[in-house]
């Protein structure tokens, strides 16, 4: 019967970073750049989504106006 061994008891074993923090697998400078790029991308998408919502509300308001209606 083979018993499981604890990895910490093996001499020279390399401990892997936490798999739930993907930036831990990258060098610090690249991890910083990727994180900042992600924040910029998420912020840009939030602004675009907000502007799209505002324009959609204005378009609906314009279509419901008395002077302008849906084409018949």
Q: Is 15 part of any domain?
A: no
User: What is the share, in percent, of the chain residues with pLDDT greater than 90?
Assistant: 29
**Stretch 57-65: mean pLDDT, rounded?**
83
Q: 0.75 exceeded by the pTM? A: no
Give 1: exposed, middle or buried? Use CB within 10 Å, 0-12, 13-18, 19+.
exposed
Q: What share of the chain is helix, strand, coil (3-state, %, to 5)?
A: 60, 0, 40
Whole-number Å distance between alpha carbons of 30 and 45: 22
| Domain with 53 in it | 29-59
The tally of domains found in the chain comes to: 1
Q: Is residue 35 part of a domain?
A: yes
Write the pLDDT tens digit of every residue in 31-47: 999 999 999 999 999 99
Q: What angle (nearest 5°) sits at the alpha carbon of residue 55, between those of residues 49 and 56?
A: 85
């Amino acid at each position: 019967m083979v018993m499981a061994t604890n990895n910490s008891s093996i001499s020279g074993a390399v401990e892997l970073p936490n798999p739930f923090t993907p930036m831990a697998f990258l060098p610090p400078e690249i991890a910083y750049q990727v994180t900042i790029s992600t924040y910029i991308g998420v912020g840009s998408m939030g602004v675009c989504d907000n502007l799209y919502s505002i324009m959609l509300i204005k378009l609906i308001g314009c279509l419901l106006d008395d002077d302008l209606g849906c084409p018949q």
